[in-house]
Chain A
Amino acid sequence: MGIVEAILLSVITAATPLVLAAAGELVAERSGVLNLGVEGMMIMGAVCAFAATQITGSPYLGVLAGIAAGALFSLLFGVLTLTLVANQVATGLALTLLGLGASGMIGESFLGMQGIKLQPIAIPLLSEIPVVGPLLFRQDAIFYLSIAIVAGVHWFLFSSRAGLKLRAVGDSHASAHALGVDVIRTRYLAVLFGGACAGLAGAQLSLVYTPQWVENMSAGRGWIALALVVFSSWRPWRVVAGGYLFGAVSISQLHAQAFGIGIPSQFLSSLPYVATIVVLILISHNRRMTLINTPASLGKPFVPDR
């Protein structure tokens, strides 16, 4: 394996959890719900996926447990913000703090255990293609899922009737409600989907990225995913582009160091974040474009008239 392939392979591993979490959050935000608890849902997914894998011996059951944990945790957010109309920003932040604490508690007895890695699946024929084959078609199930999810989200949002309704709810919940769309139900489903994706992203961390459980192992990746949603101006495929760009910058800075390039490592370490900010500035510079895509009722609570 050449060094370029090796770098690309690391980039894919680093980008997948970001893409997954951001794709899920994108759907929630398109429905008008701002859930800042991505980091918390992700870490819950990571710990539950690891625990389930250790107990059952099957990383696939672990993946399912991660998805379920993320979804269940987001249900808590849904109940608080959609049914009880709590403030979304505060609830999301609380969800992150709760997730970090709760995952530490759940994971305590799994610390230091040898992880079981989710093995790659080689796709027949396609995996034989030089360079592209090993990179794209000899990956683990979560990578394939991440691409399928983005494609699915894109199709759902822009080509399906239900997706149209979801966007309508996000843009003007009052009008959607008047037209007979069940706003609360739509938002619950969107939030649950976002939680499931964050949970899956967490499972990737503890089963693929580094097959082990350590506290706070998400290390801020949930926040990067949140930034990616804005970065992508709420378009699914741009989430992929952004996620891979971020992954590429963070991996290449490590390689730059190993090559002995004389740039301060602190600066190199901050590059991925600098890149995110620069792109955010470029995007928000074009105000019209941002406004077109931003869900108009993002973060606003919906209280139906009774």
Chain B
Amino acid sequence: MKKLLLALATTTAVLGFAAAASAQEKAKICFVYVGSKTDGGWTQAHDIGRQQVENELGDKVETQFLENVPEGPDAERAIERLARSGCGLIFTTSFGFMDATITIAQKFPDVKFEHATGYKTAPNVATYNSRFYEGRYIQGQIAAKMSEKGVAGYIASFPIPEVVMGINSFVIGARSVNPDFKIKVIWANTWFDPGKEADAAKALIDQGVDILTQHTDTTAPMQVAAERGIKAFGQASDMIAAGPKTQLTAIVDTWGAYYVKRAQAFLDGTWESTSSWDGLKDGILTMAPYTNMPDDVKAMAEATEAKIKSGELKPFTGPLNKQDGSPWLKEGETADDATLLGMNFYVEGVDDKLPQ
């Protein structure tokens, strides 16, 4: 019995030493995904970023990921598992992982966490997000130029500030070109159900919209738009394959630059908790090629993109009214980030009642 114990103790020690040694050689950087890494949308974009970390930092890091982690109690277990398995830096890549991330971060003060698109931070929890709305503003402008009926359809997922912000930015962009432009919104109340997204797309088209945009994750709406012969915008990834003659452009999440920067800071020991919110100019968000549109529309879109990158144009700049017509921003006034991140109202031009 003693011998057995001794053998066990030795093995444990050796294993422990080996683990410690390898941990010193390579920093383990981990990712928690809400979907599948090949979903063609949100999660795939994050995984491409992860691969960029591996490619650029090479032997210094080792990455690991968990896919299809449901939001809710399971997320806590998944994050904790990674924290226990020696991950030094953990990226949790869905809004719904926010509370789980904070809870586990309190249990593991030595592990660094980064949560995508949330607003809660801690000494070892940073947040990062992308200014998707900058791309949606450009899309709105294109929609206003391309739509004959002056009405666009918007398939939305859940009524959270991120999505409301996108709808508003799209409308503000469209109204900068055509002050009478309107949009119809359908809340699918899901991120991911191709059947339901397709049905929503059909319902919008049947009710007379001739441009479609979406804030859900599958290419089903793009497919329906292609079938019905109207134009549409891609979401999170370049969806041109689903609608070669349909997609006007897409906002493409390109997280790689941010992931590499943060992983490097972690390696250098300079990592600290930040709330990062980069946009088009930082390359965290890019526009898919402007296609299926006349040259003048393309030129307008490119000019707007350049203005946003240079900081000359900020989408949420007054004069702007709220949906009921009451004034929100005065001439030249720009909404601050806190307002945007907590956005729970529509601007003028949205033909929908916001679910509260």
- Chain A interfacial positions (CB closer than 8 Å to B): 3, 6-7, 10, 13-14, 104, 108, 111-112, 114-115, 205, 209-212, 214-217, 219, 221, 250-251, 254-255, 257-260, 262, 264-266, 269
CB–CB A269/B353 < 8 A: no
14 example contacts (A-B, Cβ-Cβ < 8 A) are as follows A6-B202, A10-B199, A10-B206, A13-B199, A108-B38, A112-B40, A210-B194, A212-B242, A215-B36, A219-B190, A219-B193, A251-B199, A255-B203, A258-B153
Instruction: Give Cα A269–Cα B218 distance, bound, in whole angstroms.
Output: 18
In the assembled complex, the CB of B39 is this many whole angstroms from the nearest CB of chain A, namely 7
- Band of interface residues on B: 35 or more
Q: Distance in Å from the Cβ of A249 to the closest Cβ of chain B?
A: 12
A260 to B356 Cα, complex, angstroms: 15
- For the complex of A and B, the 10 pairs showing the least CB-CB separation, nearest first, are A265-B187, A6-B206, A262-B353, A254-B203, A269-B189, A210-B194, A219-B193, A210-B220, A112-B40, A257-B186
Shortest B286–chain A CB gap in Å is 19
Residue B110 lies at the interface, judged by CB distance under 8 Å to chain A: no
Contact of A254 among B39, B199, B218 (CB under 8 A): B199
Q: Is the CB of A269 within 8 A of B195?
A: no
Chain B contacts with A in 182-229, Cβ cutoff 8 A = 184-190, 192-200, 202-204, 206-207, 218-220, 223
For residue B244, which residue of chain A has the nearest CB?
A114
Q: What residues on A are CB-neighbors of B192 within 8 Å?
A: 214, 216, 219
Q: Which residue of A lies closest to B153 (CB)?
A: A258
A13→B203 CA distance, assembly (Å) = 13
- Is B194 within 8 A of A265, CB to CB? no
List chain B positions with a Cβ less than 8 A from chain A.
35-36, 38-40, 68, 153, 159, 184-190, 192-200, 202-204, 206-207, 218-220, 223, 241-242, 351-353, 355-356
Task: Give Cα A212–Cα B356 distance, bound, in whole angstroms.
Answer: 34
Docked-complex contact A210 and B195, CB < 8 angstroms:
yes
Question: Which one, B159, B196, B207, contacts A259 given CB within 8 A?
Answer: B207
Residues of B within 8 A of A259 (CB): 207
Task: Decide: A111 near B38, CB < 8 A? Known: A210-B223, A255-B203, A265-B355.
Answer: yes
Which of B187, B194, B218 lies at the interface centre, i.e. has the most chain A CB atoms within 10 A of its CB? B194
Q: Are B203 and A219 in contact (CB under 8 A)?
A: no
Contacts of B188 in A (CB 8 A): 269
Q: B219 to chain A: closest CB distance in Å?
A: 6
Which residues does chain A contribute within 8 Å of B200, judged by CB atoms? 254
**Once bound together, how far apart are the Cα atoms of A114 and B247, in whole Å?**
14
**With A10-B199, A14-B199, A210-B195 as given contacts, are A111 and B39 in contact (CB-CB < 8 Å)?**
yes
Residues of B near A114 (CB, < 8 A) are 241-242
If A258-B153, A259-B207 touch, whether A111 touches B199 (CB-CB below 8 Å) is no
Give A248 Cβ to nearest chain B Cβ, in Å.
12
| A260:B193 contact, CB within 8 angstroms | no
Residues on the B chain within 8 Å of A219, using CB = 190, 192-196
Main SS of the interface on chain A? Answer: helix
Q: Which of B38, B219, B223 lies at the interface centre, i.e. has the most chain A CB atoms within 10 A of its CB?
A: B38
**Known pairs A6-B202, A112-B38; A214 contacts B218 (CB<8 A):** yes
- Within the complex, the shortest CB–CB distance from A27 to chain B, in Å, comes to 25
Partner of A266, one of B35, B196, B242, B355: B355
Say which residue of A112, A216, A250, A265 sits within 8 Å of B199 (CB atoms). Answer: A250
Give the residues in chain B near A210, CB-CB below 8 Å.
Answer: 194-195, 197-198, 218, 220, 223
Minimum C-beta distance from B107 to chain A (A): 29
Quick check: B206 and A7 within 8 Å, CB to CB?
yes
Besides A14-B199, A112-B219, A219-B196, 18 new A-B residue pairs in contact (Cβ under 8 A), listed by A number: A3-B207, A104-B36, A104-B68, A111-B36, A209-B194, A209-B195, A210-B218, A212-B223, A217-B193, A250-B196, A254-B186, A257-B185, A257-B203, A258-B203, A260-B353, A266-B189, A269-B188, A269-B190
**Shortest Cβ gap from B198 to chain A (Å):** 5
Also in contact, A112 and B187, with CB within 8 A (given A219-B195, A257-B352, A265-B159): no
By a CB distance below 8 angstroms, the chain B residues around A258 are 153, 184, 186, 203-204, 207
The residue of chain A having its C-beta at the shortest distance from the C-beta of B38 within the complex is: A111
CB proximity of B327 to chain A, nearest CB, Å: 23
B194: nearest chain-A partner, CB-CB: A210
Cβ B195 vs Cβ A217 within 8 A? yes
* Interfacial chain B residues near A216, Cβ < 8 Å: 192
User: Whole-angstrom distance between the alpha carbons of A112 and B206 in the complex?
Assistant: 26
Contacting residue for B223 out of A10, A211, A217, CB 8 A: A211
Alpha-carbon gap, A262 to B153, bound state (A): 17
Q: Which residues of B contact A115 (CB under 8 A)?
A: 223
Most buried by B among A10, A111, A210, A212: A210
A114 to B246, CA, bound (A): 14
Q: Which B residues touch A260, using CB under 8 A?
A: 184, 351-353
Chain B, residue nearest A213 (CB) = B194
Q: Which among B190, B196, B197 has the greatest number of chain A C-beta atoms within 10 A?
A: B196
Contacts of A10 in B (CB 8 A): 199, 202-203, 206
A254 to B: closest C-beta gap in Å: 4
Docked CA distance A170–B259 (Å): 59
